[in-house]
Amino acid sequence: MSAAKTRRARPARKRAAGTAAKTKAAAPKPAPRTSPARKLAAGSAAKTVPRKTPAHTLAASSAAKTVPRKTPAHTLAASSAAKTVPPPTVAIGKPVPDFSLPASGGGIWQLRAAHARKLVLYFYPRDNTPGCTLEGQQFAALAPRFERAGAAIVGISRDSVASHDRFRGQMNFPFLLLSDADGLVCGLFDVIREKNMYGRKVMGIERSTFLLDGEAILRQEWRKLKVDGHALAVLEAVQAL
């Protein structure tokens, strides 16, 4: 080949080389190749990982499901006390807790307001019954002597004030009769017992008498007593006190 042809061929080669270089530069770079294992792992993670719930929401939900609603402490304490603690009862040599009851003739009688130096409280089952009538009559007959000995007499049953007014009026009792309709004072003196009445068991007052001094301290008691002569025995105890 002649020198002239060689010189003409060289420019053509340069142009071809330049075109190839431009084409190679313009072609987009291929994305990095991802292995099949990585694709599977990424897909699995996207399907199996749930959306996270905030921690405080989970905690509140768990507490709401597992923690029962609490009963107020004072309610539990009151309930427990009502079931396990028996009511207080009187005892010889101890002060009798203050109490008040509706009285015959109207008004409220209160232990601490009684002005007697000594006090006789007699519990009886029912107004206008043979035993209770006889007991009341014997206390009434000795009432002046009780007064001279510095003692007052008070009768207590679960009858109403209206019943007491009728009974007291008929018998002309000079002392008050108190109505313990709900039995709270009877419970305080522990005089409610199971009794046999006409062949059936009933709960009622067991005839009982209590002698208190001027400080409302219990000095003597009579339980399961016999009516006839009882008032005189109480009077002798009052005179000796």
| Active site residues per annotation | 132
Q: Hunting for tokens 């396990």 — which residue is that?
A: 84
Tokens of 165: 């007014």
Q: How far is CA 97 from the centre of its chain?
A: 23
Tell me the longest C-alpha to C-alpha distance in the chain.
Answer: 173
Q: Which of 131, 132, 206 is nearest to 164 (CA)?
A: 132
Dist CA 190 CA 167 (whole Å): 25
CB atoms near residue 180 (< 10 Å): 21
**H or E, element range at 47:** helix 36-48
Give the total residue count for the chain.
Answer: 241
